[in-house]
Amino acid sequence: MAQATPNYEARAEFWKPAPSTRPEGDTFRPTCWSCGAECVPDSLYCHVCGSDQAAVETEAGRYIPAVVRLASRAVARLASRSAVRLAVRVASLRDALGQTNSSLAALIAGCFCLLAAALIGFFFSATKLLDWQALQLWRIQWLLAAIALFVAGVVLKKK
């Protein structure tokens, strides 16, 4: 009689998962990211440890927590909306200034170079004459880049 029930001494707990008997070619079933138990598809919580099942193991074996997935969706939506708004604003600015796309890009890049030349002294300090000369050379380079970009903007402007 003891051979009829091989696991007679072990107590069966109702909250423990059933032993996995699925074949190798079966479809993918998610596993819990905290305890590794096989989860019921579309379940909200793990039946073994109770952790949130919005974070499940993907096919590639990586764990993606729910917070990361929700944050990435929110950033993607915000970026797409703000990118459209930015494109509309840039187009209206371009039309108001009578510029082409390339000349407006050169104008914006030239303004960035002017700003970099003006702010270089705030980020770097000159304690020796050699340091001061290096800062002046950086400023000269930024100003030359700004001049080149402004000239390119004038050349590329509509006639």
Query: Both tokens of residue 86?
Result: 């930015």
Q: Give me 141's structure tokens.
A: 């380079």
Q: How far apart are CA 74 and CA 60, in angstroms?
A: 23
Instruction: Decide if 142 is inside a domain.
Output: yes
Q: How far apart are CA 30 and CA 36, in angstroms?
A: 9
135 to 7, 14, 144: CA distances (angstroms): 80, 73, 14
Which pLDDT value is given to residue 53? 65
Q: From CA 117, how far away is CA 113, in angstroms rounded?
A: 6
Residues in the chain with pLDDT values less than 50: 56-57
Which domain range does residue 77 map to?
66-97
The whole-number pLDDT of residue 121 equals 81
What pLDDT, on the 0 to 100 scale, is given for residue 58? 52
Is 121 within a domain? yes
**Do residue 84 and residue 140 come from a single domain?**
no
Q: Are residues 80 and 58 both part of a single domain?
A: no
Distance CA 49, CA 36 (A): 10
Question: What pLDDT score was predicted for residue 59?
Answer: 52
Residue 2 maps to a domain: no
Residue 151: inside a domain: yes
Q: In terms of C-beta distances under 8 Å and separation of at least 24 residues, what long-range contacts does 16-22 make, across chains too?
A: 16/48, 17/47, 17/48
Classify residue 80: in a domain, yes or no.
yes
pTM confidence score: 0.46
Distance CA 128, CA 113 (A): 25
Domain count along the chain: 3
- Residue 107, Cβ neighbours under 10 Å: how many? 21
